[in-house]
């Protein structure tokens, strides 16, 4: 893990460690107030979770680890889970956050609301507001994006690898599946969404090659037109 451009030098060096005991001790000391930084605490927790280091510390899952951490440092478990969310959000949007020079002094408590705002807000506007708004205002802004999405969003859309239906996140396609698989899944999702939009029906046909698919599509279009024309004539009688 390369050095992060945020505060608390001692904790950052610990985050680069592969020793779960060292990371754990660093977290506990930091939480107790030794160079307190919510962002660095969050990053430490995110590393404990993503690399499953809690197993080496004799905890069955991240929840039991956080409960013990909260108890030993006399913190509310909700606060610790929130710090974890801060760390995970920072790592997920790290490239964008580094571009705007976001640091631990810019209000890391706003990070748990970032993804919520990005689901519907314009990207540049969201990151500008993240830097310039207070926690209270940014939280309200993220909520307003939710309200806008329900009222104004298209019935469905694909943004990146995420499908939204009426502003709600419905499907996330794993980026590690490979370009061919991702494109095929996106194509299937688009067809299904168009069918939902038109209140129509989708029939899946599995073909072995692209050549077979091209031949089938051409013939299927002609068959569909004949069926629909016949139905239209019957409806008109």
* Per-domain boundaries in the chain: 1-92, 100-152, 156-204, 207-237
- Which pLDDT score is estimated for 32? 59
Mean pLDDT of 109-117: 90
CB 156 within 8 A of CB 129: no
What token pair was written down for 164? 């939204």
> Higher model confidence: residue 158 or residue 178?
178
Query: Number of H helices and number of E strands within the chain?
Result: 11, 3
Residue 182 has pLDDT above 70, yes or no: yes
58: phi then psi, degrees, rounded to nearest 5: 70, 35
pLDDT tens digit string along 1-46? 333 333 444 444 556 667 777 777 777 766 655 445 788 889 889 9
What distance in Å separates the CA atoms of residue 101 and residue 111, rounded to the nearest whole number?
A: 14
Buried b (16+ CB within 10 A) or exposed e, 30-43: bbeeeeebbbbbbb
Q: How confident is the model at residue 151 (pLDDT cuts 50, 70, 90)?
A: very low
């Amino acid at each position: 893990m390369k050095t992060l451009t945020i505060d608390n030098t001692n904790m950052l060096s610990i985050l680069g460690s592969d020793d779960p005991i060292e990371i754990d001790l660093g977290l506990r000391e930091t939480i107790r107030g030794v160079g307190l930084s919510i962002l660095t605490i969050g990053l430490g927790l995110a590393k404990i979770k993503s690399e499953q280091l809690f197993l080496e510390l004799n905890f069955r899952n991240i929840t039991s680890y956080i409960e013990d951490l909260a108890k030993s440092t006399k913190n509310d478990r909700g606060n610790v889970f929130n710090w974890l969310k801060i760390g995970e959000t920072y790592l997920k949007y790290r490239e964008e956050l580094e571009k705007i020079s976001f640091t631990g002094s810019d209000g890391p408590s706003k990070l748990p609301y970032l993804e919520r705002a990005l689901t519907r807000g314009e990207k540049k506007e969201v990151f500008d507001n993240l830097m310039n708004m207070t926690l209270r205002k940014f939280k309200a802004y993220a909520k307003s994006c939710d309200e806008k999405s329900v009222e104004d969003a298209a019935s469905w859309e694909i943004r990146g690898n995420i499908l939204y239906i009426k502003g709600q996140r419905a499907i996330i396609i794993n980026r590690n599946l490979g370009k061919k698989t991702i494109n095929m899944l996106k194509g299937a999702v688009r067809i299904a969404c168009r069918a939902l939009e038109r209140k129509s029906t989708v029939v899946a046909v599995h073909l072995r090659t692209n050549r077979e698919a091209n031949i089938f599509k051409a013939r299927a279009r002609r068959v569909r037109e004949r069926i629909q024309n016949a139905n239209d004539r019957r409806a008109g009688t």
